[in-house]
Amino acid sequence: MKSIVIGGIILIIALLAGTWFAAGDAFKGNEFGDIYINVLTLIGAVAVITITVFVVIKYVNQMKNDNAKGELADENWDGIGEYKNPVPTGWAIMFIGTILFMFYYFTIAYPINSFSQIGQWNEETLDYNEKFEAKWSNPTTEELAEMGKNTYLVQCAPCHGVDGYGIEGKAHNLTKRINKEQVLYVINNGANNFKSDYPGGMPAGMAFGEGAERVAEYVAGGFKGEAPAEYAACAGCHGMDGKGMPYVGPNIAEYDDALVMTVLNNGKKGVIGGMPAFTGRLNETQQKALAAYIRSIGE
């Protein structure tokens, strides 16, 4: 018992020293003389640490030296039974006191219907979202493009550049839908970027050699002129005009709303590298506005 008490005293001293090391500056005050932790708080910390340590010592010593006694209950589990000992008085008082404190806390000390900064922030956010949706419920193309420009400059310009040209190849050139290298990369490697909207993905090897070159030139050239025979394999999913089919193949002819929203929500990996998903960062109206702006800067 003596060694346990000595260890407890050493532990108390260590905890108090650690408390002083972590928060000692608060007792000294700042340059204006303000002291953030008063003497009463310090006394409370000492009391909590001391009581906690000695309560632990008491029960550790009790577990080491006491023998179980009392009347055994009739029930047992694999030969292990319980004694019919009463609930410890201190434990019962603390349990009931905790319940009473809960009612006091939620009704008097900090009522659940009282002011809350988080609640105020949530209310203001919901109110703003309602006003936003009402204002932009039926925007014109010009209004969408203007909103999209502001969104683009904040969210997209750091990688794609203010002008949308991709900062010398570091990101996709948004003034064009797609280039020959990108088309060839997808033909040779396949693609499964847009799992939420086009779950089937695209297998690799839909065209080979010179045929793949002709398809890439045709698609990158904006679907002008006569389509090469090899494009028939692509048209089954993307359509002869390249504008895609819902849940089958994305639009490879232009930046429609569905394509831009899909890229934003899924991210994209291609010949240049990867683009992270913007899930949750833009609402649907902002995504459509961004699509409208990207279409407006196309060559």
pLDDT digits (tens, 9 = 90+) for 69-99: 778 888 888 888 888 888 888 889 999 999 9
Q: What is the pLDDT of residues 109-149, one digit of tens each?
A: 888 777 778 888 988 998 988 888 887 778 888 888 999 99
Digit-coded pLDDT (tens) for 196-215: 888 888 988 888 888 899 99
pLDDT for res 252: 93
64 vs 292, higher pLDDT: 292
CA–CA distance, 213 with 256 (Å, rounded to integer) = 25
Mean per-residue pLDDT of the chain: 85
Calculate mean pLDDT across residues 253-266: 93
Number of Cβ within 10 Å of residue 81's Cβ equals: 13
Contacts of 234 (CB under 8 A, 6+ apart): 206, 207, 215, 219
Q: Is the pLDDT of residue 180 over 60?
A: yes
Angstrom distance (rounded) from CA 238 to CA 190: 14
Sequence letter at residue 94: M
Residue 34 has pLDDT above 70, yes or no: no
Q: For position 137, what pLDDT does the model report?
A: 79
**164 and 175 Cβ atoms separated by less than 8 Å:** yes
State the pLDDT confidence band at 23, using cuts at 50, 70 and 90.
low
Q: Which helix (H) or strand (E) holds 73?
A: strand 72-77
Q: H-helix or E-strand containing 80?
A: strand 80-83
Residues 6+ apart with CB under 8 A from 84: 70, 71, 72, 73
Tokens of 275: 């683009």
**Residue 19 clears pLDDT 80, i.e. is over it:** no
Give the position of tokens 């006491």. Answer: 66
pLDDT computed for residue 223 by the predictor: 92
**Angle at the Cα of 265 from the Cα atoms of 293 and 268, rounded to 5 degrees:** 85
Query: What contacts 253, CB < 8 A, 6 or more positions away?
Result: 177, 219, 222, 223, 241, 242, 243, 244
Calculate the CA 212 to chain-centre distance: 40
